[in-house]
Amino acid sequence: MTYAKQKTELKLVISIGANIPGILGDPIRTIAAMRPEIEKSIIEWNVALNCPKIDSQNIDKSLSFQWAPLFETDPLGGPIDQPRFINTVLVVAGGGFSLVKPNKKAAISLMKKFLELEKIAGRERKNTEIWGGPRSLDIDFISWGGLQINTDTLILPHPRLSERNFVLIPLAEVLSKAQGKPKRINSQNIWPE
């Protein structure tokens, strides 16, 4: 049997969360306010990677920004008395990514943009920051196509992705919009779940 070879579409997967107020307001307002800034940063990053190969006036039309709904989730790690998080996921795809092969330098450049956005939202990263502690904004770069890197600045794919329902569940929501939700089969005698 022969199968048609499908072209794998390169996608960026980004996780966004917050659980304490920042200079932009409560976590929901902060994430909502940063949404267009995150998209703008990705567009600018993509234009810089692709110039002069693409028309920078139309690059934003060639990218698809697919946002998950907001979810309220329990903190993972950190102080036990910290507030619950508000989380979402962004999946970015489109023709604008087909011109650039995922690479370490470009990925680190994008992560630096995300760190700048966190700072704008009032997050101050310190060496003494508690792992899993409260954050006014947290932008995690989860994956970019099949790129695998491990640096002090960034590890892709995110090393703890499989442990993070606050990423997996919103990601499943985005993917189910694009591909259609699977149909659950009623329990049968041969399959107890």
Considering 122-126, 147-151, 156-160, 170-174, the range whose residues carry the highest mean pLDDT is 147-151
* 78 lies in some domain: yes
pTM for the model: 0.84
Mean pLDDT of all residues in 55-66: 69
* 6 lies in some domain: no
pLDDT for the residue numbered 137: 94
Structure tokens at 58: 């139309």
- 3-class secondary structure, 142: strand
Domain CATH for 57:
3.30.70
* 2 lies in some domain: no
* 134 lies in some domain: no
pLDDT for the residue numbered 6: 46
The closest of 154, 156, 128, 152 to 144, measured between CA atoms, is 156
* 4 lies in some domain: no
Residue 57 has pLDDT above 60, yes or no: no
* 72 lies in some domain: yes
CA 131, chain centre distance (Å):
19
* 156 lies in some domain: yes
Residue 25 has pLDDT above 60, yes or no: yes
Domain limits for position 163: 12-126+148-179
Q: pLDDT higher for 62 or 46?
A: 46
Dump pLDDT digits (tens) for 90-149. Answer: 999 887 666 678 899 999 999 999 999 999 988 876 645 556 678 899 999 999 988 999
Residue 16 has pLDDT above 70, yes or no: yes
Phi and psi at 170, nearest 5°, equal -60, -35
Averaged confidence pLDDT in the chain: 82
- Structural domain total, the chain: 1
* 37 lies in some domain: yes
